[in-house]
Amino acid sequence: GESVGLHLPTLSVQEGDNSIINCAYSNSASDYFIWYKQESGKGPQFIIDIRSNMDKRQGQRVTVLLNKTVKHLSLQIAATQPGDSAVYFCAENMIYNQGGKLIFGQGTELSVKP
Amino acid sequence: NAGVTQTPKFQVLKTGQSMTLQCAQDMNHEYMSWYRQDPGMGLRLIHYSVGAGITDQGEVPNGYNVSRSTTEDFPLRLLSAAPSQTSVYFCASSYRTVDMNTEAFFGQGTRLTVV
């Protein structure tokens, strides 16, 4: 069935290093992808999104890469800070379908060591 | 601007009890959804709505009912609580932009324990 999954459930990085979080998706019809950050005890927060007509999109310290050939998505965080420690989820959707139907991956816990 | 508001934040139920989780948004978003999150897992879609009066099932709808009588409110009802429904529940709302993206905004969650 449709699913979005992550390669690494946990990631530990040193403060100041770059972080890369990966995600694999299986529904080739998905054309909109979102990365969320979830801190302990809080709801997911939007980080960045990308549509399938793009390969790369940059935000402030974050970059999302999309490889449609292998159905792979990644989130890069530059100069990782302690405040980046959280669980990161990728989610997929279809832009022209009805909204409100996000399919989430398992999540990766990012731990930043000072 | 409160965004998405969920009540209560915590709830303990006995098996067989019923209750309603409340969700309200003040952003005039057309789409609203309910997700559950179990330990070490991502969010799974329970029910969603694309507008007032319209609802549909997600991945894990059994044991839950929803209704959408207004744009602002999307309550989730547990008909007869079971221990398997112990989870954290998130409500989300989203909208269509000019280019059809649907970014979702989430509430802070309701932590439900069924004993």
- Judged by CB atoms closer than 8 Å, whether chains meet at B58 and A101 is answered as yes
Q: Which residues, given as ranges, of chain B have pLDDT below 70?
A: 1, 99-101
Handedness of CA A81, A84, A85, A91 (dihedral sign): negative
B44 vs A: CB within 8 A = yes
- Judged by CB atoms closer than 8 Å, whether chains meet at B40 and A106 is answered as yes
- Judged by CB atoms closer than 8 Å, whether chains meet at A89 and B42 is answered as yes
- Across the interface, of A51, A89, A99, the residue whose CB is closest to B96 is A99
H or E element in which residue B10 lies? strand B10-13
Any idea how long chain B is?
A: 115
Q: Cis bond leading into A82, ω under 30°?
A: no
Query: What's at B94, amino acid-wise?
Result: S
What digits encode the pLDDT tens for the residues B71-104?
A: 999 999 999 999 999 999 999 999 877 766 677 8
Residue A18 makes CB contacts below 8 A (sequence gap 6+) with A76, A77, A78, A79, A80
Which chain B residue has its CA at the smallest distance from A31's CA? B101
- Across the interface, of A34, A100, A107, the residue whose CB is closest to B42 is A107
Cβ–Cβ < 8 Å for A44, B43: yes
Q: Which residues, given as ranges, of chain A have pLDDT below 70?
A: 1-8, 95-99
Cβ–Cβ < 8 Å for B110, B22: no
Residues of B in contact with A106 (CB under 8 A): 40-42
A59 vs B: CB within 8 A = no
What's the pLDDT at A3? 47
Cβ–Cβ < 8 Å for A49, A33: yes
Taking the C-alpha atoms of residue A26 and residue A53, their distance in angstroms, rounded to an integer, is: 17
A24 vs B: CB within 8 A = no
- Judged by CB atoms closer than 8 Å, whether chains meet at A93 and B102 is answered as yes
